[in-house]
Amino acid sequence: MRKNKVEKFGILTSGGDAPGLNAAIRAVVRTAISSYGMKALGIEHGYRGLIDGMAHELLLDDVSGILTRGGTILGTSRESPFKKLEFDPETGMNDVEKILAQYKKWELDALVVLGGNGTNTTGAHLAKAGLNIIGLPKTIDNDLVLTDTSFGFHTAVSVATEAIDRLHTTAHSHDRIMVIEVMGHKAGWLALYAGIAGGGDVILIPEIPYNIENIAKHLKKRQKQGKIFSIVVVAEGAMNKEESMMDKKTFKKTRKEMKNSIGYRIAQELEEATGLESRVTVLGYLQRGGTPVSADRVLATQMGVEAAHMLYRGEFGKMVAMQEGRLLGVPLEEVAGKIKMVEKTHPLVKAAREVGTCFGEKDEDE
C-alpha cells in the first residue's frame, strides 16, 4: 500500500454489542471523509463479513442520526478467524487467508476494528500478518488494558445502577435480601461501580474470592442494627474461596454443572445461612442495550475522531486509548490477550470498604 496514505479503509464492529458503537462509527467516518477525503467501507457482521465478503460503502448520509442509537449499524459477531484454521475445501484457504485476500480485493489501505479483548487481539494478529490495523476499545466490562475506560461501560453502569435503585424499594418493602447479578466474567469493574453507585451492601467480584459465612455474618450484623433488608451485587464471574483454588478446566466444569447462574447459588446459600428470604434479578443483556449515556457518546466520538487522525498519520498496529484524560495510540500487541483486573488495593475498593461494603473476604468485618 501507499506508505502513510490512506485512501480507502474498512471499519467493522466485533464481539458483543455495546452502547456507543454507532457514535464511534459516525466519528471515524465523518472525520475521515470530511477532513481527509477518504472512502469508508462498512464491513458487516464483524470479522465474518471480512471472511465472507459482506460490505458496503459508508457515506455521510449513512452515519447521520446514529449518534444516539444503541447496537451497531454494521452488525456484529463473535467470529475469531485465528481459533479455527481449517481449510475450506471450495477455496483451499483458511479464514485468515480469506481475510488477507478480501482486504486486497477491496483495495483497502487500512482496517479499523471496534471491540473488546477478542476483537483487538485478533487485530493484533492481523497486524502481524501485514495488515494496517487501528483498534477502538469497546466493552461494558471495562477490562481492556492500557486505557482508563472503554465506551459502553458508562451506560452499562447507569443501567445496572438504576436497576439496583428500583430493587432497593422492593427489598425494603418485603424485608428481603435482593441479589442483583451483573455482567463481568473475569473482571469486576461493572459490579464495583454499579454496586457503589447503587449503595450495595455486599459486592462480589471475580478478583476477590468470597466466603459465604463472612457475607452471612455481615448481613446478620445489619439485621441486629435494625437493617432488615440488604442489596447484594454479584458479578457473573464471582467465585468462592474453593473455586479460586481450582485450575481453569476444573472451574469451567464446576460452573457448567450449576443449574443456574452464580446469583441464584449465592441467594440460596445466603437464605440458608441467614434465614432471610432472598430473591434474584439477573440483568443480562439489558446492560448492553439502549441509548448510550452522554459520557459514552462523548468518549466514543473522541476516540473515533482520533482513529481517523491516526489513519491519516499512518499510525497502525495501535489501539486508541484514554490515559489520564489524554488520547493516544497504544501498541495492539501490548493489549492482546490481557485483561485489566480490579486490584484489591484499588481506591474504589478501599472507598467501598470505608462506607461499610462487604466483599466477602475473611476477617474484613472483624
Strands (E), the chain: 8-13, 39-43, 55-58, 110-115, 133-137, 177-182, 202-204, 230-235, 278-282, 318-323, 326-331
Which of the following CATH numbers is that of domain 8-151+292-335: 3.40.50.300, 3.40.50.450, 3.40.50.970, 3.90.100.10? 3.40.50.450
Residue 171 has pLDDT above 90, yes or no: no
CA distances from 314 to 2, 174, 307 (A): 10, 60, 10
At 366, the pLDDT band (50, 70, 90 cuts) reads very low
Positions annotated as catalytic residues are 141
Segment 118-154, tens digit of pLDDT = 999 999 999 999 999 999 999 999 999 999 999 999 9
Q: Quick one: pLDDT at residue 39?
A: 98
Q: Quick one: pLDDT at residue 173?
A: 74
Q: Is 275 left (phi over 0), alpha (psi -120 to 50) or beta?
A: left
The three-class DSSP label of residue 210 is: strand
Q: Is 85 left (phi over 0), alpha (psi -120 to 50) or beta?
A: alpha
Q: Which of 41-50, 104-113, 206-215, 252-261 has the lowest mean pLDDT?
A: 252-261
Q: Judge whether 153 and 110 are in contact, CB under 8 Å.
A: no
Of 159, 198, 153, which Cα lies nearest the Cα of 179?
Answer: 198
Q: Which 3-state string (H, E, C) describes 27-65?
A: HHHHHHHHHHCCEEEEECCHHHHHHHCCEEEECHHHHCC
Q: Does the fold of domain 154-288+343-354 match that of domain 8-151+292-335? A: yes
Q: Quick one: pLDDT at residue 362?
A: 67
DSSP 284: G
Strands (E), 187-312: 202-204, 230-235, 278-282
Segment 309-347, tens digit of pLDDT = 999 999 999 999 999 999 999 999 999 999 999 999 999
- Dig out the grid coordinates for 178 from the structure: 435482593
Q: Quick one: pLDDT at residue 2?
A: 43
Residue 175 has pLDDT above 80, yes or no: no
- Residues of the chain above pLDDT 70, percent: 97
User: Using CA atoms, how far apart are residues 157 and 109, in angstroms rounded to an integer?
Assistant: 37
Which stretch, 18-32, 84-98, 161-175, 216-230, has highest mean pLDDT?
A: 18-32
Q: What average pLDDT score do residues 226-243 get?
A: 93
Q: Judge whether 49 and 29 are in contact, CB under 8 Å.
A: no
- Residues of the chain above pLDDT 90, percent: 83
Of 123, 143, 136, which Cα lies nearest the Cα of 50?
Answer: 123
DSSP 211: -
Q: Judge whether 292 and 19 are in contact, CB under 8 Å.
A: yes
User: Using CA atoms, how far apart are residues 18 and 21, in angstroms rounded to an integer?
Assistant: 6
The three-class DSSP label of residue 9 is: strand
Q: Quick one: pLDDT at residue 85?
A: 77
Q: Quick one: pLDDT at residue 1?
A: 38
Q: Quick one: pLDDT at residue 228?
A: 80
Architecture of domain 154-288+343-354: 3-Layer(aba) Sandwich (3.40)
Q: What average pLDDT score do residues 349-360 get?
A: 97
Q: What average pLDDT score do residues 271-291 get?
A: 91
Q: Quick one: pLDDT at residue 4?
A: 57
Residues in the chain: 366
Q: Domain coordinates of the chain in residue numbers?
A: 8-151+292-335, 154-288+343-354
Q: What average pLDDT score do residues 278-290 get?
A: 91
Average pLDDT, the chain: 94
- Dig out the grid coordinates for 68 from the structure: 444516539
- Residues facing residue 210 across a β-bridge: 240
Q: Quick one: pLDDT at residue 229?
A: 85
Decide the pairing of beta strands 8-13 and 39-43: parallel
Q: Quick one: pLDDT at residue 365?
A: 43
- Kindly give, in sequence order, each residue whose CB lies less than 8 Å from that of residue 280, ignoring residues fewer than 6 positions away: 179, 180, 181, 263, 264, 267
Q: Quick one: pLDDT at residue 31?
A: 98
